[in-house]
Amino acid sequence: MPEAPPTDEGWFVLHDFRTVDWDGWRDAPEHERDRAIAEGTEYLRRHEEVTDAEEGDSAVFSVLGHKADLLVVHFRPTLDDLSRAERQFEQTALAAFTAQPTSYVSVTEISGYSTPEYFEDPESVEDRLREYMEGKLTPDIPDGEYVSFYPMSKRRGEEHNWYDLDFEERADMMETHAETGKAYAGKIKQVISSSVGFDDYEWGVTLFSDEPTHIKDIVYDMRFDEVSSKYGEFGQFYVGRRFPPADLGAYLEGETVPTSDGDESGHPHGEGHGHGHEHGSGDAHGHGGDHEHAHGDDSADADDADDEDVDIREALADMDIYAGQPHGEDVYATVLYSEAETDELFDEVEGLRGNFEHYGTHVKTAVYEARNRDRSAVVSIWDTQSAAETAAGFLSDLPGIVARAGEESGSGFGTMGMFYTVKPEFREDFHETFDEVEGLLAEMEGHQDTDLMVNVEDENDMFIASQWDARENAMAFFRSEEFSETVKWGRDVLADRPRHVFLA
């Protein structure tokens, strides 16, 4: 009898698809439409904030095509939580203008194909890998703007029957499948959920990406793997784009969503929506049950610096910290340190900034002052790398410039945590926590120094710069329990989502 792989289950998942009665919407009195928008927005907002359960996550997407108009995705610890979320929607005035053409119920899952030792003795597995796998069971919804959902099963035909194959043969095919997915690291995030006994197919696959063609490419490439070509059976595909609850009215009025003012950050779905847990999507080796997956979010250790960079970006992303894309950033920062008087430096920067603001690629230029040492930093952020490099040329002539971040002589390896915007009421707590972490850093192997620098124009805006002897020393810190705990704490005190920039 073929051996079944062990599995572990986590949060339950509901894909709630809705169609809108557009005729009824157009004919409804304005006050009814206003009420529907208000109640629908509040429902979506409260569920994204998970006020209905102790843990989880939710998101809303506009769906293209005739099969649905809206998709609301819920992750919750129990089936009862999902049931309550579904029924609470029906209590809103918006529900009267919608129908539910389909839905999908499943539960997040990992399996023993790639790491059987995790199921035999979890404590024997490397800490980072164990935490990564366990993160798959309690995921946040990934940040990718575009979503694709489809259900699938493994074939049980007379000629090709997946469940008649030996465990080793199945594991080999899954490993080959995972290799295909590795080419999409940094491009695709996935959530794999098992629906065996819950719904019509055996698994639900939800893919997330900031570029919709990446979704097409990975599904196409994987169709040629034997595990799909011979043994994969697929249901209907749905594709959509995420938007914030505040844009519900714009969506119903036919506007493009997300709108630029959907939330304070301008990001289509906010930049910091964690709920007290790390999110994971995919599996460290691309394996989840007997399902076709490995969709590009592999985080296995690599031998060269490029793979290590991708690896740590993925690890930070799982803690809801933006760390750039594998082959480029969405913004480019140049940072120069100065030993001049801060007031003198600021006066000079203010003049340059006035010129920078004439360019559409300019994002921000500001002066920051170190808390615990006599130096300041000029940070200039741009949409393109060439613009940032040009700005660096002008900034290098500022008074007292002693170094450019990442180019200090003998500095080893630098990291920079940016966009730490602290809620005003937590500013002093943030400083105290940084002092505690700084004490821990002083005892870590390979640590040189770390500065907390504060924007001279906005005391709630800060960045953290660190220098290490080598890359591996910095990576050890980012994988540490202390860093993970600090990040979890930071979700409550930060007003925006932090980012980390890795400097050569």
| Active site residues per annotation | 150
In eight-state DSSP terms, residue 424 is G
**Beta-ladder partners of 465:** 416, 451
The CA distances from residue 36 to 44, 50, 85, 113, 193, in Å, are: 12, 21, 17, 47, 32
In eight-state DSSP terms, residue 279 is -
Structure tokens at 403: 């170094």
Secondary structure string (H, E, C) spanning 19-30? EECHHHHHHCCH
Length of the chain equals 504
Own/partner pairs for 402-411, CB < 8 Å, 24+ apart?
Answer: 402/337, 402/338, 402/339, 402/375, 403/336, 403/337, 404/334, 404/335, 404/336, 404/337, 405/334, 405/335, 405/336, 405/337, 405/377, 405/465, 405/503, 406/335, 406/503, 406/504, 407/504, 408/467, 411/448, 411/467
Query: CA-to-CA distance for 495 and 264, rounded, in angstroms?
Result: 10
Neighbours of 68 (CB within 10 A): 26
Strand order across the 413-421 sheet: 401-404, 332-338, 376-382, 362-370, 447-455, 458-468, 413-421, 499-503
Residue 306 main-chain phi, psi, to 5 deg? -60, -45
Structure tokens at 285: 């080796």
In eight-state DSSP terms, residue 494 is B
Residue 278's identity, in one-letter code, is E
Q: 18: closest CA among 73, 90, 98?
A: 98
Structure tokens at 265: 């950050």
In eight-state DSSP terms, residue 49 is T
